Amino acid sequence: MAASGRLGTFRLPPLPTIRELIKLFRLRALKQLSQNFLLDLRLTDKIVRQAGNLRHAHVYEVGPGPGGITRSILNAGVAELLVVEKDIRFIPGLQMLSDAAPGKLRIVHGDVLTFKVENAFPESLRRQWEDDPPDVHIIGNLPFSVSTPLIIKWLENMSRRDGPFTFGRTQMTLTFQKEVAERLTASTGSKQRSRLSVMAQYLCHVQQVLTIPGRAFVPKPEVDVGVVHFTPLTQPQIEQPFKLVEKVVLNAFQFRRKYCHRGLSMLFPKAQRLESTGKLLELADVDPTLRPSKLSVSHFKSLCDVYRKMCDEDPHLFAYNFRDELRQLATKTLKGKNTKERATHLQDASSTQVFLAYPDSNKNASS
Ligand SMILES: C[S@@+](CC[C@H](N)C(=O)[O-])C[C@H]1O[C@@H](n2cnc3c(N)ncnc32)[C@H](O)[C@@H]1O
């Protein structure tokens, strides 16, 4: 183990470069797994610095691949680094890093979508939610197809304070397609404001800390990449179950260009839609003619609190999904038709169904 003079921090001994390692183990990037590697260690150092001070920290790196970010995390003087990698071809190269940093790097061949990190670090790291964040960090450069479902899953964990958040307000530094990073951090009224903005911001302080041009990756993806830092809030801005918030937000953003009452109305069965939407907006004190992007987290808090009360009064309301109603309507229409008629009907089904539910949904003009 080598130690640099600077503060006696741990430094990895000389190792083959990532490029040499890729050659040595023939780690051709697999397109079907959306693999794009970072080979420049100055850049991986810069990404890792965005996580804050990692000296003596316990870090969970998702998708280490050939190990560029892994090296930078180890060089930051962590107490322990746990990496979870799905592609077995990377394990020997990571093992080489582990040999160079004895006792510091734990390698798991597994899937981040199912891996249970809550059992992987010592209980002694746990903090109260209101305390400063624990010395546990999540860092990762995952394929975009994994990072978006993963962040939704982790936001839900955060709301329940379980999974990686059993340790307290665990901080995360993750890469996303630049457009997704912009959506996550978009403020009220901005063009990128979306479902993701509200879902992330009601639970966390979210900041885009770095933009990495696509050309920095090998092979080069078609888009630039944003690095986003998440710190869970001590007090979530909306105190309702995650699934309820998700439902309200999802419905509100259904028709981005329409007034918000259009999307929100779909929270209610057709028979009571008009009346219940009016009640929701009135009690929440939200202007029905605001566009979804103009709704602040505090608007969503009021909407969720009122919707929760309405669900408590009507036990069937939360389970209501307007898509089920549309499906039933389509099935009824199909009954008694011959095969040819059914085929024609099914061909038109999506547009017809949408049209039946939202008569002006095919127009661009706002309501
Ligand atoms: C975009 S590459 C980045 C590799 C490396 N971190 C870097 O920056 O050069 C994504 C990595 O995540 C891995 N990966 C993809 N899906 C995964 C999953 N579900 N669980 C664990 N690893 C995964 C891929 O095999 C690949 O090594």
Identify the CATH number of the domain in which residue 250 sits: 1.10.8.100
Q: What range defines the domain where residue 271 resides?
A: 242-313
pLDDT at 330: 77
Indicate whether 272 and 343 sit together in one domain: no
CA 107 – CA 98 distance, rounded (Å): 8
Residue closest by Cα to atom 27 of ligand 1: 65
Residue 138 belongs to a domain: yes
Indicate whether 159 and 277 sit together in one domain: no
| Ligand 1 mean position, distance from CA 165 (Å) | 22
Q: Exposed e or buried b for every residue in 184-196, given b needs 16+ CB within 10 A?
A: bbbebeeebbbbb
Q: Are 237 and 273 in contact (CB under 8 A)?
A: no
Q: Which of 276, 295, 313 is the last residue of a domain?
A: 313
Indicate whether 140 and 42 sit together in one domain: yes
Indicate whether 32 and 163 sit together in one domain: yes
Is 36 annotated to bind a ligand? Reply is yes
| Ligand 1 mean position, distance from CA 62 (Å) | 7
| Ligand 1 mean position, distance from CA 202 (Å) | 28
Residue 365 has pLDDT above 60, yes or no: no
Q: pLDDT band for 6, please (50, 70, 90 cuts).
A: very low
Indicate whether 249 and 269 sit together in one domain: yes
Q: Which of 204, 232, 260 is the last residue of a domain?
A: 232
Give residue ranges with CB within 6 A of ligand 1. Answer: 33, 35-38, 63-66, 68-69, 84-87, 90, 111-113, 141-143, 146
Q: pLDDT band for 135, please (50, 70, 90 cuts).
A: very high
Indicate whether 97 and 213 sit together in one domain: yes
Residue 96 belongs to a domain: yes
CA 39 – CA 218 distance, rounded (Å): 7
Q: What is the pLDDT of residues 13-64, one digit of tens each?
A: 888 888 887 777 677 777 766 788 999 999 999 999 999 999 999 999 999 9
Indicate whether 275 and 145 sit together in one domain: no
| Ligand 1 mean position, distance from CA 64 (Å) | 6
Residue 8 belongs to a domain: no
Q: Which of 294, 313, 332 is the last residue of a domain?
A: 313
Domain count, the chain: 3
Residue closest by Cα to atom 18 of ligand 1: 111
Indicate whether 56 and 152 sit together in one domain: yes
Indicate whether 287 and 337 sit together in one domain: no
What value does the mean pLDDT of the chain take?
Answer: 88
Residue 7 belongs to a domain: no
Indicate whether 97 and 115 sit together in one domain: yes
Indicate whether 345 and 272 sit together in one domain: no
Is 63 annotated to bind a ligand? Reply is yes
User: Could you report how far apart the first and last alpha carbons of the chain are, in Å?
Assistant: 67
Q: Exposed e or buried b for every residue in 150-178, given b needs 16+ CB within 10 A?
A: bbbebbbbbbeeebbbbbbbbbbbbbbbb
- What is the pTM (predicted TM-score) of this model? 0.86
Instruction: Look up the ipTM and state it.
Output: 0.99
Residue 10 belongs to a domain: no
Residue 268 has pLDDT above 90, yes or no: yes
